[in-house]
A = this chain, B = another copy of it.
């Protein structure tokens, strides 16, 4: 389970997409949310969009690995699909904020690698948020303030990446994923025992 977190506008979604394209061994966890779809967002791909009542029913049935309320909207990670992917031997990528990460760390610490993506500068962050232009100006202002709050939690992550050049950042994330796969390889103890018995 690989977590990517960052303030909005740091380029995390693009990095996540590039990682999924480059590595067939990992797939995205699609979050459930009660917020309205933005233009171009596809239900079931970007998020599973539900209304707030449906979200709270799912939550009360224990269907979330973690959930949180962010900017007046609910976000949650559905448990069943994550478990199916992991037991099929593939990794799961999470695009979640620090609250979601903190919740996951409580329930799945040993299976988790967490990466925080920082923008190269405050100016660059503001430009990216403004260029995106899908949100009204007051949302951009709120997101800039939110970025400051989100960034406070950088030190709770295993790795921190500065997204100045998307290719470099992608290479770093792929290296982290590969190194952690080596570290967590299953069956190593049995392999060594078998090797030792033949020496």
Contact = CB atoms under 8 A, between A and B. Distances in A.
Nearest to A180: B179
Interface stretch (A48-56, A59-67, A76-84, A191-199): A191-199
B182 A148 contact: no
Contact of A171 (B152, B178, B185, B195): B178
Interface residues of A, number: 36
A118 B159 contact: no
A176 B177 CA distance: 9
A58 interface: no
Nearest to A162: B191
Contacts of A196: 148, 151-152
A160 B195 CA distance: 14
How many chain copies? 2
A161 interface: yes
A61 B180 CA distance: 40
Contacts of A192: 118, 151, 154, 160
A198 B151 contact: no
Contact of A179 (B151, B159, B195, B198): B159
Contacts of A108: none
Given A154-B192, A160-B188, A174-B175, A144 B199 contact: yes
Most chain B CB inside 10 Å of its own CB: which residue of A119, A152, A199: A199
17 contacts: A118-B191, A118-B195, A121-B195, A121-B198, A122-B198, A125-B199, A144-B199, A145-B199, A151-B195, A151-B199, A158-B183, A162-B191, A171-B178, A174-B175, A175-B178, A179-B179, A179-B180
